[in-house]
Structure 1
């Protein structure tokens, strides 16, 4: 039987994101997703219009692989280095609101 560990991450995430986008009424991108960045370390909003479904699929995969995880560890996973000009780069966590809302939607959908 094939598991998450046997399938390449990009292929799995894109397939699950397509499934979320097409067939699931519980996972819906909130209105504010058109305006927000995914963390303070980013300069712009995501270029992919359907980035919400990709992030939900990625979070679902992370929860499966890492076991019981919370918002704090997922924020760390989706964080990155902030460019501070001439100062050294510094790690910043990703958006907690995105992770929380995605986890609530996945839980309501039964995943």
Structure 2
């Protein structure tokens, strides 16, 4: 079974963004055309599809690290701010963008809020502790990402059939080639 761990993250995010653009629940609000992605940015994004790319990236982060809340995502997407002659410092990304993306992903059914007091496995935590807050990937969201990763993997294998045919054989051939060139000898 192919998962998102088996494909390059950049290609996966681009493919998921294309698929999310077709979904009517994920749409860029009117105010998003004029905003920056955070206090650390000088200009608004130049790419017209930035909303769907950010949505796809947030969905991937929730799959990998869920349950994830707005604060952790703000830290993930934040970066340094240039302050002239003064030292740089970290600034978190925009929370409004992340909150809106999370609510749209929730409306589309890709993420859900876990029950309060339970962790991501549905079990209660230690005595007196509540489970982690945030959003987790839903079964629909997990299958969506896994199917997209599977499509990417198949497209990559059809494009490069020799490269992916037999990894052990390819490794042996590369070792033999190095040995013939005066490199490593077996």
What is the TM-score normalised by the length of structure 1?
Answer: 0.97
Hey, what's the Cα distance between the residues in 1 that align with 2:85 and 2:107? 45
Indicate yes or no: 2:56 matched with 1:64. Answer: no
Q: What is the match of residue 8 of structure 2? A: 8
- 1:5-42 Cα deviation digits (max 9, x unpaired): 11111110000100111x20100100011100000000
**Which string of whole-angstrom CA distances, capped at 9 and with x for unpartnered residues, describes residues 29-57 of structure 1?**
00011100000000000110110000000
Structure whose CA Rg is larger = 2
Structure 1: give runs of 5+ residues left out of the alignment.
Answer: none
State the alpha-carbon separation in 2 of the partners of residues 7 and 66 from structure 1: 17
In structure 2, the partner of 1:76 is: 75
* Aligned residue pairs, count: 110
Note the aligned Cα RMSD (angstroms): 0.5
Of the two structures, which has the highest relative contact order with CA contacts closer than 8 Å and spacing of 6 or more?
Answer: 1
Runs (5+) with no aligned partner, structure 2: 111-186
**Distance between the aligned counterparts of 1:7 and 1:83, measured in 2?**
34
- Give TM-score, length-normalised by structure 2: 0.59
- Tell me, in whole angstroms, the C-alpha distance in 2 between the residues paired with 1:15 and 1:9: 10
Distance 1:55 1:78 in 2: 9
